Amino acid sequence: MNVLVTNIHQLINVRSETKLLRGKDLAELPVIQNAYLLIENGLIKAFGDMSLVGSNQSEVQVLDAKGASVLPTWCDSHTHLVFAASREEEFVDKLKGMSYADIAAKGGGILNSASKLNNTSEDVLFELAWQRLNELMQLGTGAIEIKSGYGLSVDGELKMLRVIKRLKEKSPIPVKASFLGAHTYPIEFKGNHQGYIDLIIQEMLPKIAEEQLADYMDVFCEDGFFDPIETETLCRAGMAIGLKPKIHANQLNLSGGTQVGVKLGAVSVDHLETMDENAISTLAASSTIGTLLPTAAFFLRMPFQPARALVDANCAIALASDYNPGSSPSGNMNLVVCMSCIQMKLSPEEAINAATLNGAFAMEMEHELGSITIGKKANLIFTKPIPSVAYLPYAFGSNLIDKVMINGVFI
């Protein structure tokens, strides 16, 4: 079935070429005013100026966009969507003055989520994650990466990854899975870090390989969590079973995570709240993407990622939500884009590119998603009437999404 979308006010992020955007290229967001878009079997077949719509369109269903603007759906390349329960009690503790590190030290944080997850069945976890995923699709997310990391036991990690595998099978949007067994040390390994690293390498990874449960290897490279040497050892073990690194780096400290990620050819190093010149120039000289998670900085009341310095130094950046119960209990990518402009001084064009095409690169899905390009999936956001691209981050409190299309069908 072909669908011809007519009378699009602005068709946003139209490209004939798919390349990772960095430096000045990130600020170029190609738009066609008053456009049409032709979709065939869920894929983008053609697009252009309304005056050029072919007359020979008898086999198509015509869909009048009535002045909506259309852009590719968000590519959210960093989430922890599978979790057992919210943690608003810790949120209240933080309001009273405790830090993220204080809460972690008293058994809250990731360990709190791990104990809840280990007491929740796979079916319940799946149902909760499925509801969240559907909410995110309504908010315009059209591809997503999801991490394990709240199991911290062989059974718990495998259970989480199996939930993600079921989401992959059922979801109309593409899902990528990252194994984050090295999220923190479980209580029983508090005095025996090497024991837990051995458990990951000797017990978890072989089962993950056998059941093909993950695409990427993630490690929380941070002071008090996994140091750069441990991160490298773990990533190399993941790489040996085909998992490319995609790691948590430089969130709370200058952890060396960026450098180790670049050294290993990581797809991305994520967070980057705490960067110095060496970390920035190392990233800029690499093909590793720096994924910024502004809603996590916002929620933890930390300094925002130095997005301007990263872009100006020629780093390739992506934007993602980090959706998780501890540091970003929201997967709203519209808010991520707003916050990136308001708090990190990205231009609307830079933010949209980083949340679409560069996000697709950060999940290695750039040939399927991330721009309006012939042959890519028709995963599209139809906006309410908006005067311009800049209106999207400007009107930060409004839901400007009218409809979301996945594989050429409205959800």
Binding site for ligand NIG (CB under 6 A): 109-110, 113, 220, 248, 251, 296, 322, 324-327
Nearer to ligand NIG, 87 or 162 (CB): 87
- CA dist 411 and 405 (Å) reads 6
Nearer to Fe ion, 68 or 269 (CB): 269
- Minimum distance of ligand NIG from residue 288's CB (angstroms): 17
110 binds, among Fe ion, ligand NIG, none (CB under 5 to 8 A by kind): ligand NIG
Nearer to ligand NIG, 63 or 85 (CB): 85
Side-chain-side CA neighbours of 194 within 13 Å: the count stands at 0
Residue type, 65: A
Chain residue whose CB lies nearest Fe ion: 322
Is residue 273 part of the contact set for Fe ion (CB under 5 A)?
A: no
- Minimum distance of ligand NIG from residue 283's CB (angstroms): 18
Which among 97, 4, 163 has a CA at the least distance from the CA of 301? 97
Phi, psi (rounded to 5 degrees) for 315: -75, 150
Nearer to Fe ion, 177 or 381 (CB): 177
**317-376: contacts with Fe ion (CB under 5 A):** 322
Which among 348, 362, 272, 349 has a CA at the least distance from the CA of 313? 272
DSSP per-residue codes, 17-51: S-----GGGGG---EEEEEEEEEETTEEEEEEEGG
Report the Cα 306 to chain-centroid distance in Å: 18
Chain residue whose CB lies nearest ligand NIG: 326
From residue 377 to residue 406, the character string flagging contacts with Fe ion as x (rule: CB under 5 A) and all else as - is ------------------------------
368 binds, among ligand NIG, Fe ion, none (CB under 5 to 8 A by kind): none
Q: Are strands 43-49 and 74-76 parallel, antiparallel or unpaired?
A: unpaired
156 binds, among Fe ion, ligand NIG, none (CB under 5 to 8 A by kind): none
- CA dist 156 and 104 (Å) reads 19
- Minimum distance of ligand NIG from residue 281's CB (angstroms): 24
DSSP per-residue codes, 352-406: HHHHTHHHHHTTT-TTTSSSB-TTSB--EEEESS-SSTTHHHHSTTS--EEEEEE
Is the distance from CB of 252 to CB of 223 less than 8 angstroms?
yes
- Minimum distance of ligand NIG from residue 89's CB (angstroms): 13
- Minimum distance of Fe ion from residue 183's CB (angstroms): 9
- Minimum distance of ligand NIG from residue 109's CB (angstroms): 5
The residues of the shown chain that bind Fe ion, judged by CB under 5 A, are: 322
